[in-house]
Amino acid sequence: MTCFAQMEAHNTIGSQYQHADIEDGYIGDLTYADYRRAAEEHFSFMLPLIDPSRVAGTAFRDYVNEMNEISWEFEDQDEGGRGVAYNLAQRNSRNRIVGTLSLLRCFSKNLDEVPGSDKIILDALAGDGTITRLLQTEKLRAPTIISSDLSSFMVKACIAQKYPCIRQSATYSLLRDSVLDGVLIAYGSHHLDNAARKQASLEAYRTLKVGGRFVLHDFETGAATANWFDKVVHPFSRTGHPHRHFTRDEMQTLLQDAGLKNIQVFDMADPFILEGTTPDEARVNALMHVYRMYDLVRVAPTLTEALHKLETCVNDVLGGIHIEQTGSTWTATIERQALVAVGTKVV
């Protein structure tokens, strides 16, 4: 039994525990008490959403220790992860603006508008707050996003930016029952194994209010974007990519078994879009984004060779880089097709 499962048992008697002050670090060198002080200063609305029994005693300490053991892939390079390169690739958050806004529209009644700030949505695999950064940078109408992630490195970066955030597993949320208007699991859902996918869907259902929506995003097994991970990311990334993607039937079943209703599963355009002052600059920016995004340090011994080889890979697997001019700016687009499931909690 993992400590995530053990916590369920501990929490039946969780009221007898005091809050744990994790000395070896809840978020890097920050204890849970440090996190609460940061939250109180910058995003105090979150504190009442946290279930005290889920951040209590030895069970919480075990939970943090297990997160530390399994989060290495998106920690920094000292731990063998690719968190630094990933965050560098996401600094220009416009690169996924099409897909991000499409996902946020899934939380509206007709999937046609981005909700306003009165709606609270948990981004369960948020990295360093990419969606929040996009919405703030573009000054867009937006819901209130809580960024959560397994990685200490990612959540510490969120705190540094003063974004509402919490470090937790997608399979065991620290939030109370029925407090969220939406839960999003995207851009990393394939990192969850079979059991974790089921548990994450159940946790989404538990934490949603009645009428709230769960949105699950990935890339369909056997399609071009999933093939990109198999043929390029797995052999050439610093960390590899030994993860299975999703099928349509699996998404449908996961949401249905979690108790969600009115389920829809559909394709969604989710391109990478990078800009430059010349066509070549836009092309190089697109290739550099791909290189950093997946930390493809094994693709070739030099960066020049790596970009040349990556362009061939993009051409062969994803259909190439499409470059067009808009005013004085050139835009390079790498097309990707995502698979999305949306379900609603009705009781």
Q: Read off the pTM.
A: 0.90
* Amino acid 22: pLDDT: 47
Contacts of 50 (CB under 8 A, 6+ apart): 166, 174, 175, 176
Q: Is 2 exposed, middle or buried (0-12, 13-18, 19+ CB in 10 A)?
A: middle
* Amino acid 9: pLDDT: 40
Q: Which residue stretches of 76-223 are H helix?
A: 83-89, 97-105, 130-138, 152-160, 194-207
Please tell me the distance from the alpha carbon of residue 48 to that of residue 260, in angstroms, as a whole number: 25
* Amino acid 73: pLDDT: 67
Helix (H) or strand (E) holding 283: helix 279-293
Helix %, strand %, coil % of the chain (to 5): 50, 20, 30
CB atoms within 10 A of CB 8: 12
SS3 at position 169: strand
Domains of the chain (ranges; CATH) run 26-270+337-344 (3.40.50.150)
Low-confidence ranges of the chain (pLDDT < 50): 1-3, 5-20, 22-23
Please tell me the distance from the alpha carbon of residue 318 to that of residue 300, in angstroms, as a whole number: 20
Q: Amino acid identity of 260?
A: L
* Amino acid 344: pLDDT: 98
Scored b (16 or more CB within 10 A) or e, 285-312 reads: bbbbbbbbbbbbbebbeeeeebbebbbe
DSSP state of 181: E
* Amino acid 270: pLDDT: 97
* Amino acid 323: pLDDT: 98
